[in-house]
Amino acid sequence: MNIHEIRSSYLDFFKRQEHAVIPSASLVPENDPTTLFTGSGMQPMVPYLLGESHPLGARITDSQKCFRSQDIDEVGDNRHTTFFEMLGNWSLGDYFKKEQLRWVFTWLTQEIGLNPNQLYVTVFRGNESIPRDEESVAVWKELFSEVGIEAKDVDHSERDGMQGGRIFYYDDTKNWWSRSGSQENMPVGEPGGPDSEMFWDFGETLGFHESSEFRNEPCHVNCDCGRFLEIGNSVFMEFKKTETGFESLPQKNVDFGGGLERIAAAAADDSDVFNIEAFAGMRTTIESLSGTKYQDDTNAYRVILDHLRAAAFLIADGVAPTNKDQGYFTRRLIRRAVRFGRNLGITESFCGRVGAQVISEYAPMYPKFEEMNHVIQKELESEEEKFLKTLGKGEREFKKMFERAGAISGEDAFVLYSTYGFPIELTEEMAGEQGQEVDRETFMAEFKKHQDLSRAGATQKFAGGLADHSEATVRLHTATHMLHQALRSVLGDHVEQRGSNITPKRLRFDFSHTEKMTDEQKQQVEDLVNENIQKDLPVHYEIIGLDEAKSRGAIGLFEDKYAQLGGKIKVYFIGDEATDEYFSKEVCGGPHVERTGELGHFTLKKEESCASGVRRIKAILD
């Protein structure tokens, strides 16, 4: 079965169990400032797991798009991907362990035909706070017995390996789920509970193959030898952390997550997830362009396949490649794919062509791909073109350095990285072609120095000032605060600063907003700023705690970084201190003018787009 057949089978099965089928949420979380991406199937469901009523009832199922940026450097083996789909079903205070485990086992073995002899499970061992999950063990024993398998339950021991077991007890670092990880890391009030994970066995030969580094080590389902692959996890969320331990939640929830690509690999009994049919069109395109085969360099192929699929999904959800926030990761994915494409010998533009295969594969399930077809391919091609120019400059500089010294030092490698955006891995590869090695230790030392200088510069900036403290720059700095508030007043509170650049001649202000401003809106903003300049409002600051600043309505993009400076922040108030009526309240290091009457006349010169979802204004004072 391919992933689309498996996905449909799963949703249909749980629909028959009276679950409401909901669409996937965006890869960019809504109303969740704690994370850049939707990284798990349960993330959009957190409010309902915490007790909020779901409009579609207590039984929900879906296939959720997920992206985990922290896994970028892991890609290259046979199982890690940054983008994946997570099959999910939830009970919000309805059914519990007995129904959940039976349904999942039935779907896996009867609906999609997985051999139960190759399924193994883990459960929570228990500790002084929470008892051993013997209820799940009893259910699993019954299920395996019904298909003729005697399921022995054993305590996991790395020393003793499998011990003839089918059901394994692990501690809370493996078989406990909360958003904070293990029980020890959970803050007071955090919900969590034991879980039961399912693993597919690809066979002993993977772990004990004569070339395996694990061939002489005892095997168990959670080891790294490659024999076992986790394909699903049923979380039984029934406890809440308290000051003294744990207490039961008012309702017991079930949260299941099953990796779609991993289940497809299990269905094919192939331990390499990149061999599933979903990657076939992309893989064939790369083979055609490079003149190589997948098995010639699986690492390079896997990086390209994963990264360009992930980038296409991110762009479809509005995350174009940029230098910051979510867009940084889209850019990084594409540029890494380009570099590995060069490793395969691809000399022509290929990202858009591989992206076209992603669109073709997924458009039937995700119609947005069809709508965004042109945008996705254009962004992939454009980013590839930009990076190739960077590579060209770096390669020329590399050649000069090498001809001058006969080698590339760690300092040279850092110059290539910092000045030309040349990846250290590419520098090492090119040096290797010349029979040389790059001193990575020196490179990392230079890199750390650069980071330390950057942090020091940032701290200085946040603590109190501008690079230029001329009168003209200070006046424009105060005008920027007034512009920020005027934009929020005219366009809405969604407006937030996304960057600024102030010279003695003009201010430049980037802000979050998706649409071009109308002439009327621009005029309203300009008028509002000038109106408050003419009021000659006083400007003063107070150094207060972060919580107090928020309670008083202060805004500011860098609140967390200011708070690191002794736990206090500086807030500038523009308005009447006596009546506590202010036009602007914003976190800032300063400096500013003493009264708005010093500013003169504010003129908005230009409003334009500067990135996806970000607008830019240029303005002057005269």
Question: Which of 228, 257, 275 is the last residue in one of the domains?
Answer: 275
Q: Which of 65, 64, 60, 10 is nearest to 267 (CA)?
A: 10
> Which one-letter DSSP state was computed for residue 96?
-
Q: Are residues 268 and 318 in the same domain?
A: no
**What pLDDT score does 562 carry?**
40
> Looking at residue 574, which CATH number applies to its domain?
3.30.980.10
> Has residue 441 been placed in a domain?
no
In single-letter form, the type of residue at position 558 comes to F
Which of 120, 139, 112 has the alpha carbon at shortest distance from 11?
112
Same domain, 240 and 330: no
Sign of torsion over alpha carbons 569, 572, 576, 581: negative
Same domain, residue pair 18 and 38:
yes
Answer whether residue 418 is part of any domain.
no
Cα 199 to Cα 214: distance, rounded to the nearest angstrom: 18
Q: Quote the CA–CA distance of 64 and 314 in Å, as a whole number.
A: 14
CB atoms within 10 A of CB 49: 21
Q: Is residue 460 part of a domain?
A: no
Angle at 50 between CA 46 and CA 56, to 5 degrees: 70
In the chain (622 residues long), the average pLDDT of successive 10-residue segments reads: 96 97 88 76 81 88 93 87 96 96 98 97 93 96 98 84 91 87 88 94 68 70 87 94 90 94 96 96 97 96 97 94 83 90 93 97 93 94 89 86 92 83 80 91 85 49 45 90 96 87 88 92 96 93 80 70 51 84 86 90 93 88 92
Q: Quick one: which H or E segment has residue 464? A: helix 440-464
Nearest CA-CA partner of 424 in 443, 404, 406: 443
Cβ atoms 301, 283 nearer than 8 A: yes
The three-state secondary structure class of 622 is coil
Strands 167-170 and 119-124: parallel
447 in a structural domain: no
Domain that holds residue 307: 277-405
Residues 248 and 303 in one domain: no
269/283 same-domain check: no
Query: What CATH code is carried by the domain that includes residue 181?
Result: 3.30.930.10
Can you read off the two tokens belonging to residue 446? 């230079």
366 and 494 housed in the same domain: no
Q: Looking at the domain assignment, is residue 446 inside a domain? A: no
318 shares a domain with 281: yes
Q: Do 491 and 361 share a structural domain?
A: no
What are the φ/ψ torsions at residue 512 (nearest 5 degrees)? Answer: -75, 120
366 residue type, one letter:
Y
Same domain, 368 and 335: yes
pTM assigned to the model: 0.69
Query: At CA 491, angle to CA 487 and CA 497, rounded to 5?
Result: 45
> At which residue do the structure tokens 């860098």 appear?
558
Which of these three, 224, 258, 275, is where a domain ends?
Answer: 275
What's the CA gap between 497 and 517, in Å, rounded? 16
Pair 316, 221 in one domain? no
Q: Are residues 258 and 282 in the same domain?
A: no
Position 492 in a domain: yes
* Residues 167 and 252 both lie in one domain: yes
- CA Rg, the chain, in Å? 28
Residue at which a domain ends, from 275, 292, 327: 275
Whether residue 510 lies inside any domain: the answer is: yes
Tally of structural domains, the chain: 3
Q: Is residue 442 part of a domain?
A: no
Reading the block at residue 87, the tokens are 């099959």
